[in-house]
Chains A and B, each alone.
Chain A
Amino acid sequence: MRSAPAQIPTSFGHELRACLRFRLVKTYDQFRESGCENCPFFKMDEDNERVVDCTTPNFNGIISVMDPSRSWAARWLRIGRFVPGCYTLAVSEALPEELQNMCEEVHVQYVPPKRV
């Protein structure tokens, strides 16, 4: 194993949310309990409110990436360097500005989703 995979969603329904920055998909509760494996700096596990800000229930499609570094799909979607886990293909919402600033602080580039 290259890296520990992210938590796998425990359900597949409405509770699923996607991290706006890393597109990781988990349930609300999972985010609340352990945050997003890719972006600990958001500290979602410490601040439950943050979960709502950082994640969205509106996402499109799920991709389970077993082997991010060697998956073409993961590379294409620019998630090739994240931990293995379930991601979404696209989120449509942008990260709130406050959190975008936070990204900047830790030098994580943030590219808002392109509008169709």
Chain B
Amino acid sequence: MVRRFDDEDDDVEEEEYEDEEEQLLDDEDYDVDEDVGRGRGGSSKKRGRSDFIDDLAEEDDEEDEDDDDEDYGGGGGRGKRHKAPRDGSQFFDLEAQVDSDEEEEEDEGEDGFIVENGADIPDEDIGRRMHRRPLPLREDEQEDVEALERSIQARYARSSHAEYDEETTDVEQQALLPSVRDPKLWMVKCAIGRERETAVCLMQKYIDRVSDLQIRSVIALDHLKNYIYIEADKEAHVREAIKGQRNIFGAKIMLVPIREMTDVLSVESKAIDLSRDTWVRMKLGTYKGDLAQVVDVDNVRQRVTVKLIPRIDLQALANKLEGREVPKKKAFVPPPRLMNVDEARELHIRVEHRRDQLTGDYFHYIGPMMFRDGFLYKTVSMKSISAQNIKPTFDELEKFRTPSVKGEGEMVGLSTLFANRKKGHFMKGDAVIVIKGDLKNLKGWVEKVEEENVHIRPEMKGLPKTLAVNEKELCKYFEPGNHVKVVTGTKEGATGMVVKVEQHVLIILSDTTKEHIRVFSDDVVESSEVTTGVTKIGDYELHDLVLLDNNSFGVIIRIEREAFQVLKGVPERPEVSLVKLREIKCKLEKKFDVQDRYRNTVSVKDVVRILEGSCKGKQGPVEHIYKGVLFVYDRHHLEHAGFICAKAGSCCVVGGSRSNGDRNDSFSKIGNFKTPSRVPPSPRRFSRGGPPFDSAGGRHRGGRGGHDALVGITVKVRQGPYKGYRGRVVDIKGQSVRVELESQMKVVTVDRNFVSDNVVVSTPYRDTSRYGMGSETPMRSSRTPLHPYMTPMRDPGATPIHDGMRTPMRDRAWNPYAPMSPPRDNWEEGNPASWGTSPQYQPGSPPSRAYEAPTPGSGWASTPGGSYSEAGTPRDSGSAYANAPSPYMPSTPSGQPMTPSSGPYIPGTPGGQPMTPGTGLDAMSPVIGPESEGPWFMPDILVSVNKSGEETHGVILEVLPDGSCKVALGSNGSGDTVIALPSEMETVPPKKSDKIKIMGGSLRGLTGKLIGVDGTDGIVRIDDSLDVKILDLVILAKLP
């Protein structure tokens, strides 16, 4: 009776569990009990013990009772309920269960002979539930159908969620990670191609052997040939299972480390979405690699009908059809070409036009081949096409676009493209447009990206703040003027500006080639980065002058995959050839000078105008000179990356001054003197320029011809007795040059060819040049914003020079003509358009930094004082100057570097006249902060005026000669007019999409719109030209 009681007890508990299920069956309780009695009769004693455990376990069960119930509800029974055969298996089950209970009591750890050894407690629970369940099942059979139905309904109604416990949130999945108590995975070698079969066979074996196999599962992965995994607790179990399997060989059983177990099972579900219109590629045969479009899918027969551009050799086909001998071996694969039915008929190929029974559409039939609109419709096995990661190129899609389905075709292409998008395609802030659904054409910005949905902030008012849109319905959106970078596809890496938007196709003006490229807007991200894609292969870079195999030469104007496009040095007509790397002999770096039509010397970087030929009238700096041929870069020339090849004799140097100046900064002043118009209108700037002119001019003005670029610059003697000496050119007479050597106080004459002007100047001289350059800034800055910036860069080396100053002789070193930076860069600096074109200017490489921040102002701003302090504190240099025999020293404690030269020379320089030592200093020295901006003030810009401690905004009306400005107060200039000193004003830094005016650089005075900010650079669209420029923010002033 004890047993009986136990059982009842047990049953009561069970009823608690299952009352919902069993309420209908309550009246059959007796039967149930009887069943149980029968079932457990054989093991009554054990049962007694196990009940005790059972109760304990029950407690556990109760904790997650709900789960269990529901789990169970879905878990085992439903499918088999009707069929559950009334065999003896339940009894075995019970027995086994009880055994395991016993074992558990003893100690689970012991490897016993009893099967359930490895089972852990959760499993136990499941097992227990399993054996409890059969009770109602057996009832079912005796139940009338109606009751059964009701019971089922009741159950389903109750367990309305989590039926199969399949919510796969990541957290839940984490909880399922394998532990040491779980069965292990063993890797077993099996015959290739028999993996599935083996897995199925083992399953069959398991069924046949009625579970005396103790493996849990067998896994055959599609992507892993030659191996299957078997899940079991022990290697011995695996061995037992694979015994006698003919497809499994080798006794080697490898254990999969617990950490890798999940990897085995985490197969990427092949997202084969072979629906209509999907783009696929053929895997086999003539069309291997060809793009095709799915027209129809037969999932049952595993066949797909695709639309292809036929590769049919009509002639061969005709021959074949007429029974003529066809060479067995195909010599070539015919190129893809749309079928022309008329053409086929001309070759006496029988073309039938009839209806396809399946689709009802009309096709042209040639034998078994079906054509429509020139496309071949081919039914192939699903295995023979690949649908994954198909990225049709632009050209391919173009070909598929038949005129009749143009619009549709495009949308189709689009959606397939989207299917292959990478993760993280959209990023917060991207501008997007909805292309499908109710919200079609709604623009917005990405706010948040989830798995599939993208939350966008719609542009239109009156809509919710954010909308969730499926990413497939979104497309990136760009507007003309955006600067973008291509991130995928064949044009990957290129950057440029969007010039036109045609639906999802963008036309981009490439930064490198200045050519139009067409890309999918999907392949593009907005970026201010200016790169050129590949700009270098091997030693050769874009725009290098190279010597080719056949002794011809040319400029690299474009770099393609493994080849260069070279504009040959043939002046008569532009000749471009595609050159492989190995066909290039070497780079030509030597600098030559030639004479132009008027016998002026032309050097690299001189600006020339072309007087003859097809490019007559174009002008630009000379980039390369070789064998009397000039390569001129005219950025307005849209072909050949702006390069023009011309004979030296058909060009003339434009404004000799400019070329001189460009080559040699300090010399620019000459040009300026000659052409006063260039002098910037601002007296302030003028004054700033004063001293340097003096310093330079005082020395040389008299004798200089003005056109010879070499005079005044520092050269190195390359040959002859003075080889290795460095000095400054003081005069040129024909082929000989008089050089004042630096190390010996004497002037020597050397052959012009024996000197190289491309001196890498050592520190002290640099410093000199700094002053030189700085001092002449006003002129240059108006044109070449860069130089001032460069100045500070030199500074670290400054100190020595100050010392040098002490000796009267070294005074010369002050000469601004002295060593220059490598002269060649100047023009580029002055020519913002070229920033993007030459790799040197890419951000990141140290030298380019300078060019990137092309404004004097910024230069100063970014190295405030750094230069000077490194160069020696003012005091230091002061002392240095104190020793120098200069009269001005006392006047300007902080600005010494500037003043010394200016003092004496002032009288000589018209330009310098207005200048006072003080202003000169101010203008020059970075330390002086706000005043350094002074020179940039110009009418119309918005400034913040700080007069008598009060800060107000105002608009500059006029810049007065003394540097102060007439300012109309009020942020739109509507208030009173006051005169403000430069020190009292500051420009208002513009923000994105502000109207701006450019205060410095070659574009000074132009207005535009700030369309983006990248660090210290602003991206500006110039109003007049609509060009987009990257300029330092410092020279941009906000307009009211």
Contact = CB atoms under 8 A, between A and B. Distances in A.
A45 interface: no
Contacts of A109: 161-164, 166-167
B262 A76 contact: yes
B203 A73 contact: no
A4 B77 CA distance: 10
A13 B853 CA distance: 67
Nearest to B419: A115
B145 interface: no
B273 A93 contact: yes
Q: Could you say which of B78, B92, B210 has the most chain A C-beta atoms within 10 Å of its C-beta?
A: B78
Contacts of A77: 265
A64 interface: yes
A2 B129 CA distance: 10
Contact of B203 (A66, A108, A111, A116): A66
A95 interface: no
Contact of A107 (B156, B267, B269): B156
A116 B382 CA distance: 20
Contacts of A72: 176, 178, 182-183, 216, 231, 261
B262 A63 contact: no
Nearest to A14: B302
B219 interface: yes
Contacts of B220: 61-63
A111 B269 contact: no
Q: Which of A28, A60, A67, A84 has the most CB of B within 10 A?
A: A67
Contacts of A84: 203, 206-207
A58 interface: yes
Interface in A2-44: 2-5, 8-9, 12, 14, 16, 28, 36-40
A3 B211 CA distance: 11
Contact of B85 (A2, A4, A60, A80): A4
Given A109-B166, A115-B271, A8 B207 contact: yes
Interface in B271-302: 271-274, 299-300, 302
A84 to B, nearest CB: 8
B93 interface: yes
Given A4-B83, A78-B165, A64 B76 contact: no
Nearest to B218: A64
Nearest to A6: B79
A111 B269 CA distance: 14
A5 to B, nearest CB: 5
B619 to A, nearest CB: 57
B1019 to A, nearest CB: 37
B199 interface: yes
B268 A116 contact: yes
A100 B685 CA distance: 78
B736 interface: no
Interface in B187-231: 194-197, 199-200, 202-204, 206-207, 210-211, 213, 215-223, 231
Given A3-B76, A64-B218, A76-B265, A71 B83 contact: no
Contacts of A64: 199-200, 202-203, 206, 217-219
B171 to A, nearest CB: 14
Contacts of B130: 2-3, 69
Nearest to B120: A70
A81 to B, nearest CB: 3
B80 A12 contact: no
B121 to A, nearest CB: 12
Given A63-B217, A92-B273, A107-B163, A81 B76 contact: yes
Interface string B134-158: 0000000000000000000000110
A50 B78 CA distance: 20
B446 interface: no
B71 interface: yes
A62 B200 contact: yes
Nearest to B268: A116
Contacts of B202: 64, 66
A71 B231 contact: yes
Which of A64, A76, A85, A113 gathers most chain B CB within 10 Å? A64
Contact of B156 (A38, A62, A106): A106
A66 B216 contact: yes
A70 B100 CA distance: 14
Contacts of B197: 12
B119 interface: yes
B481 interface: no
A63 B219 contact: yes
B267 A90 contact: yes
Contact of A73 (B76, B185, B451): B185
Contacts of B551: none
A38 B203 CA distance: 17
Contacts of B166: 78, 109, 111
Contacts of B194: 12
B330 interface: no
B164 A78 contact: yes
A66 B273 contact: no
A7 to B, nearest CB: 10
Contacts of A71: 183, 216-217, 231
B872 to A, nearest CB: 64
B733 interface: no
Q: Most A CB atoms within 10 A — which of B200, B211, B452?
A: B200
Contact of B79 (A37, A66, A86, A111): A37
B126 interface: yes
B217 A66 contact: yes
Given A106-B156, A109-B161, A92 B203 contact: no
A90 B210 CA distance: 28
Contacts of A4: 80, 83-85
A38 B182 CA distance: 25
A50 to B, nearest CB: 12
B80 A3 contact: yes
A77 B172 CA distance: 12
Contact of B76 (A2, A9, A86): A2
A40 to B, nearest CB: 6
Given A60-B267, A109-B161, A115-B452, A2 B93 contact: yes
B561 interface: no
B74 A73 contact: no
Contact of B211 (A1, A38, A61, A115): A1
Nearest to A24: B79
Contacts of A28: 300
Interface string A50-65: 0010001110111111
A38 B79 contact: yes
B655 interface: no
Given A9-B200, A73-B265, A78 B217 contact: no
Nearest to A110: B166
A8 B203 contact: yes
Interface string B94-124: 0000000000000000000000000100010
A92 B76 contact: no
Given A57-B382, A69-B123, A109-B166, 17 more contacts: A8-B203, A61-B219, A61-B222, A62-B219, A63-B219, A64-B200, A64-B218, A66-B218, A67-B211, A71-B231, A78-B166, A80-B165, A81-B71, A81-B74, A107-B160, A107-B161, A111-B167
19 contacts: A60-B267, A61-B223, A61-B267, A62-B200, A64-B200, A65-B216, A69-B130, A72-B178, A72-B261, A76-B178, A83-B76, A92-B269, A92-B271, A106-B156, A107-B163, A109-B161, A111-B168, A113-B269, A115-B452
Interface of A: 1-5, 8-9, 12, 14, 16, 28, 36-40, 52, 56-58, 60-67, 69-78, 80-86, 89-93, 106-109, 111, 113-116
Interface of B: 71, 74-80, 82-85, 89, 92-93, 119, 123, 126-127, 130, 156-157, 159-168, 173, 176, 178, 182-183, 185, 194-197, 199-200, 202-204, 206-207, 210-211, 213, 215-223, 231, 261-262, 265, 267-274, 299-300, 302, 382, 451-452
3 closest cross-chain pairs (CB), A and B: A81-B75, A71-B216, A64-B203
